[in-house]
Amino acid sequence: MSSLEQVIESILPGVQKPSRYIGGESNQVVKDPETATARVVWSYPDAYEIGISNQALQILYSMVNERTGASAERAYCPWPDMADAMREQGVPLFSLETWRPVRDADLWGITLQHELCYTNVLEMLDLAGVPLHAADRTQDDPIVIAGGPCASNPEPLAPFFDCFLIGEGEDLVVQVVEILERLPDRRKRLLALSRMPNVYVPALGAHLVDRAVYDSFDISTQPTAPIVPYASAIFNRASVEVMRGCTRGCRFCHAGTWYRPVRERPAEKVIEAGLAALDCTGYDELSLTSLATSDYTDVEKAIAGIKAVKPNLHLSLPSNRVDTGPVALSAAANTRQGSITIAPEAATQRMRDIICKTIDDDMIEAAIRSAFEAGYTTLKTYFMVGLPRETHAEVQGIVDFGIRAREIGYEVLGPNARFTVHVSASNFVPKPHTPFQWEGMAPRAQLKLKQQYIRRAMPRQNIKLSLHDPTTSMLEGALSRGGRHTAKVIERAWKSGARFDAWNELYDERAWFAAFEAEGLDLDVEAEREFLEFESLPWDHVRSGLSKEFLLDELWQSRAEAITGDCRWDGCTDCGACLGPIRTRVVN
């Protein structure tokens, strides 16, 4: 055992959840450092139990280890108690597979899944002993590359990364490893990466870069031996991605634009991959994942095939649309019925037309009734407040929805039945590359007043209400559409102690307000800012595949309170996603 390993072992008994840091999980891959052609470390900048559930990193991890001679290892952001102990003992950030310093890697990839993990990126860089700024790194440092949905606007973190992989990584990861293997020099590696059309190098300025699309969506990249954590994870189940992309066209939804076009996997491949994952993990639950699993063409065939082999298996179908059909499908898939989720997003028809949520009150009520009739006793529903052009009627509509859903529960289950209608309302945050990217957030005071009204007006019996903190939502909004100047704010906030900003118990509001003020900015003003329709946006050099003309047209359609049809059923909307060799690919 090395001296570093001994120090790590001496620290672990004194921290919360030491299983976050030990590695050695089932299906972990450890290659011989002496024979590996390169060393890659993949990181999720949050706690282990969040990061281990991320499907994207599991895909990249298995691809590097199975398809190349390089070794793929993992590192997550240490909890503050562990980070403090590491600094005190001089322990650098280390990988779970080998307990070797992350700084010794050739490539360090960090996924950016949400904006409130940005300070954790700096925390991990600092713990690793890697200079925060890419401009200060030397031959002794790894190439630090970012990916994930938040890389769609790379500018707020641009100074801290050598490069960004824009879009989907399956077709690119082997090419990246080949560059590491072929070129030993860090500068030459970075130059070679910069020549890839889907890699953005901030040091070269705001040059045009295209989003990578995994066009074939071949099942071979789906991990069939995912890592099974020792510690409790947010998702303790196997999963198979059945479909990527969505054409529903919700105007607030970043994923709905960023992952177009729709690509599906054949049911027989999904069944094979799902059963293989179950066999090598021991899980008793399988999730068929996508942005809208009920839209997957072969969903019934996949359920039937898996159930034929494992009739008592609990099948999870997340992201179901509001319709009676998906409710029935979910009931057929679940052996442990309990809760079901629907997401109306808005409670009035006017607002649903504005956001292009193509459902109506009758569909919603029918779905609720079907859920209770199917035996579900917990109905989880999701809404947003602060949407563009929202009036009091939309806020009142959320309260009315809760009351009506409870009434349906009584009608179906009886007046003394035990059931829960869970009403969750988040705050609208505009995102890049969406029709609402030009819109600003509602003022913080207004969001608080709307939440106060919902709390007062919503009955408590059989209804559980969850409201998201407006302060963290405003921060998310300021970061999501920030420019390169935002990087200075992030660095100041981190130096003042900000980290794990998505965790209520650790979020430091004062650090963020002070950081914005020190840079001559106002957090609320940055979040509420409305962009002019033809001004240059900080992320314009990142081309998502959807035309700006289409996004503007959708913005104008929202202001006309008009919906746009789904191209899978209502004809092409000329969004731009299917231009060139890339096409929507459905299984039949």
pLDDT band for position 231 (50/70/90)?
confident
Q: What pLDDT, on the 0 to 100 scale, is given for residue 460?
A: 94
pLDDT at 328: 72
Per-residue pLDDT reduced to its tens digit, 504-513? 999 999 999 9
pLDDT recorded at residue 147: 98
How does pLDDT run across 514-544, given as a tens digit for each residue? 999 999 999 999 999 999 998 999 999 999 9
Quick: pLDDT tens for 554-569. 999 999 999 999 998 8
| Structure tokens that stand for 489 in this block | 């704010």
Q: Token digits for 210?
A: 């295209």
**What integer pLDDT is reported at residue 72 of this predicted model?**
98
The CATH class of the 219-485+521-551 domain is alpha beta
- Sort residue 569 into left (φ over 0), alpha (ψ -120 to 50) or beta: alpha
Kindly report the length of the chain: 588
CATH of domain 3-210: 3.40.50.280
Q: Please determine, for residue 422, whether its predicted confidence score (pLDDT) is greater than 80.
A: yes
First to last CA, the chain: 56
Q: How confident is the model at residue 2 (pLDDT cuts 50, 70, 90)?
A: confident
pLDDT digits (tens, 9 = 90+) for 337-358: 688 889 999 999 999 999 999 9
pTM: 0.96
In 3D space, the residue among 454, 583, 444, 459 whose CA is nearest the CA of residue 523 turns out to be 444
Question: Which residue, among 153, 207, 219, 251, has the nearest Cα to 557 in the 3D structure?
Answer: 251
**Token couple for 95:** 């990988």
- With a cut of 70, say whether residue 9 has pLDDT above it: yes
| Residue 228: strand, helix, or coil | strand
What does the alpha-carbon distance between residue 166 and residue 162 come to, in Å, rounded to a whole number? 13
Q: Do 103 and 66 form a contact (C-beta atoms < 8 A)?
A: no
Residue 550, pLDDT above cutoff 90: yes
- In this structure, what DSSP letter does residue 92 have? P
The two three-digit tokens of residue 5, written as one number: 């390993």
Report the C-alpha gap between 490 and 338 in whole angstroms. 41
Domain map of the chain by residue range? Answer: 3-210, 219-485+521-551
Average pLDDT value for residue range 208-217: 96
Q: How large a percentage of the chain has pLDDT more than 70?
A: 98
Judged against a pLDDT cut of 90, whether residue 329 lies above it is answered with no
Radius of gyration of the chain (CA): 24
Q: What is the mean pLDDT of residues 309-331?
A: 80
The answer to whether 200 touches 164, Cβ cutoff 8 Å, is yes
**Is residue 1 predicted with pLDDT exceeding 70?**
no
Q: Where does the pLDDT of residue 588 fall: very low under 50, low under 70, confident under 90, or very high at 90 and above?
A: low
444-457 vs 470-480: helix axis angle to the nearest 10? 140
SS3 category, 385: strand
**Cβ partners under 8 Å of residue 440, min gap 6:** 430, 527, 528, 529, 530
- 291 touches 255 (CB < 8 A): yes
Q: DSSP secondary-structure letter at 197?
A: T
**How far from 261 is each of 196, 209, 212, 568, CA to CA, in Å?**
22, 18, 12, 10
The pLDDT of residue 338 is 83
Give the tens place of pLDDT for each residue, 461-474. Answer: 999 999 999 999 99
Instruction: Please give the pLDDT value at position 59.
Output: 97
28 in helix, strand or coil?
Answer: coil
Whether the predicted pLDDT of 323 surpasses 80: no
* The predicted structure's pLDDT at residue 335: 66
Q: Is pLDDT at 327 greater than 90 in this prediction?
A: no
**What digits encode the pLDDT tens for the residues 12-43?**
999 999 999 999 999 999 999 999 999 999 99
SS3 273: helix
Q: What is the DSSP letter of 212?
A: B
Q: Is the dihedral of CA 456, 457, 461, 467 positive or negative?
A: negative
pLDDT at 324: 58
99-124 burial: b if 16+ Cβ within 10 Å, else e: bbbbbbbbbbbbbbbbbbbbbbbbbb
In tens, the pLDDT along 412-421 reads 999 999 999 9
The pLDDT value given to residue 317: 85
pLDDT averaged over every residue in the chain: 95
Question: pLDDT band at residue 246, thresholds of 50, 70 and 90?
Answer: very high
Q: Is the dihedral of CA 153, 156, 161, 163 positive or negative?
A: positive
